[in-house]
A = this chain, B = another copy of it.
Amino acid sequence: MTETATTGRALPHPRPQEIRLETVLHALSDPMRLRIVRELAAVEAELSCSQFDVPVTKSTTTHHFRVLRESGVIRQVYRGTAKMNALRRDDLEHLFPGLLDSLLAAADRQAARLGDGG
């Protein structure tokens, strides 16, 4: 294991069986949060909050990540001083097979249509 050790500051996450479709859809119904999820899906890796190129204040960004975490869409883990974010792809796929890819495809398609980046 070459990962940086996680610290003791564990953040609360819903267990898989607590994740609700309505809450996931609400989390993705904000353009900024949808953009964050698309970035996470594109890199297929963990990203720290500061690695996202979002045109909003830090407190707004923190809020968006919290909504994504509390809905079950992402997992947030402290590694050293950085809060790292990753999609909960396996949990979502198990609960709702095909849904995440379908949502990401729809978001890609809309971005291409509206010309607002990839």
Which A residues form the contact surface with B (CB < 8 A)?
20-23, 25-26, 28-31, 34, 95-99, 102-103, 105-107, 109-110
Contact = CB atoms under 8 A, between A and B. Distances in A.
- Classify the secondary structure of A's interface with B: helix
A107 B98 CA distance: 12
Contact of A110 (B21, B26, B34): B21
22 contacts: A20-B110, A21-B34, A21-B106, A22-B28, A22-B29, A22-B30, A22-B31, A22-B34, A23-B29, A25-B25, A25-B103, A26-B29, A29-B29, A95-B109, A96-B105, A96-B109, A97-B105, A98-B105, A99-B102, A99-B103, A99-B105, A102-B102
- Oligomer: number of copies: 2
A103 B23 CA distance: 13
